[in-house]
């Protein structure tokens, strides 16, 4: 596999990890039911309701993709380390968000009925695991960048060079300067007026034959 292709596949890996985390953040992670309350109620809680850390780190991971292509060498390796930290943070924040204390705090902010029930029933689905998976995938992409990124090519340098005229290079594709028109191409009336003035119309402007 060429270094350029390896860089592209790693970027796709990072994008997939961030995308999974962002997708999961908008889905319902926990459904809480307060059956012992005066009025039995149920409340669905999304990943963003439980905390915006995971989605914020996923957006930071997407922003790191631009730096992955724009940098090179050790700077790119440092970017890879940051992306790996973002992925690890997503996985940790997602697992922490579904803890009972965190869920109770989130639903209490939505309805006071849940704060009156000390033991509400909680149904946790698998969307939080999707977010954890996204964090792991993003972290893997960051680690690959940390280890292998210094070998990958940077952005194309052809746009960093000046134009041939500005850099002093000869232009091979420049259009040739048109030659002086041949006497046969000159209007006969012009030739006649030149004869009247005593001029030789076959001579060039600089006096050379």
Tens of pLDDT, residue by residue over 12-24, are 999 999 999 999 9
Q: Is residue 164 situated within a structural domain?
A: no
Classified as helix, coil or strand, 121 is strand
CATH number at residue 145: 1.20.140
What's the mean pLDDT in 26-46?
Answer: 77
Which candidate, 129, 142, 146, places its Cα nearest to that of 54? 129
Q: Which residues of 76-86 are buried (b: 16+ CB within 10 A; e: fewer)?
A: bbebbebbbbb
Percent of the chain, pLDDT > 70?
A: 66
Q: Global pTM?
A: 0.68
Q: Are residues 146 and 200 located together in one domain of the fold?
A: no
Beta strand 41-46 with 121-124 is unpaired
Q: How high does pLDDT run on average in the chain? A: 77
pLDDT at residue 11, as a whole number = 92
Same domain, 116 and 197: no
Tally of structural domains, the chain: 2
Do residues 117 and 28 share a domain?
Answer: yes
């Amino acid at each position: 596999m060429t270094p350029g292709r390896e860089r592209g596949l790693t970027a796709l890996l990072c994008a997939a990890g961030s995308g999974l985390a962002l997708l999961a953040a908008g889905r319902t992670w926990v459904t809480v039911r307060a059956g012992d309350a005066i009025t039995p109620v149920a409340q669905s809680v999304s990943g963003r309701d439980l905390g915006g850390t995971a989605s914020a780190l996923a957006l930071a991971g997407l922003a790191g993709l631009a730096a992955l292509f724009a940098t090179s060498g050790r700077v790119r390796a440092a970017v890879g380390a940051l992306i790996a930290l973002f992925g690890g943070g997503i996985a940790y924040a997602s697992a922490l968000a579904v803890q009972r204390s965190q869920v109770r705090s989130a639903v209490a902010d939505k309805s006071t009925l849940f704060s009156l029930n000390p033991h509400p029933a909680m149904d946790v689905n698998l969307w939080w695991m999707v977010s954890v998976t996204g964090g792991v995938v993003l972290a893997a992409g960051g680690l690959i960048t940390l280890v292998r990124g210094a070998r990958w090519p940077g952005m194309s340098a052809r746009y960093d060079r000046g134009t041939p005229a500005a850099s002093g290079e000869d232009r091979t594709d420049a259009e040739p300067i048109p030659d002086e028109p041949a006497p046969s191409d000159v209007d006969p009336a012009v030739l006649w007026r030149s004869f009247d003035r005593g001029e030789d119309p076959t001579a060039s402007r600089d006096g050379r034959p």
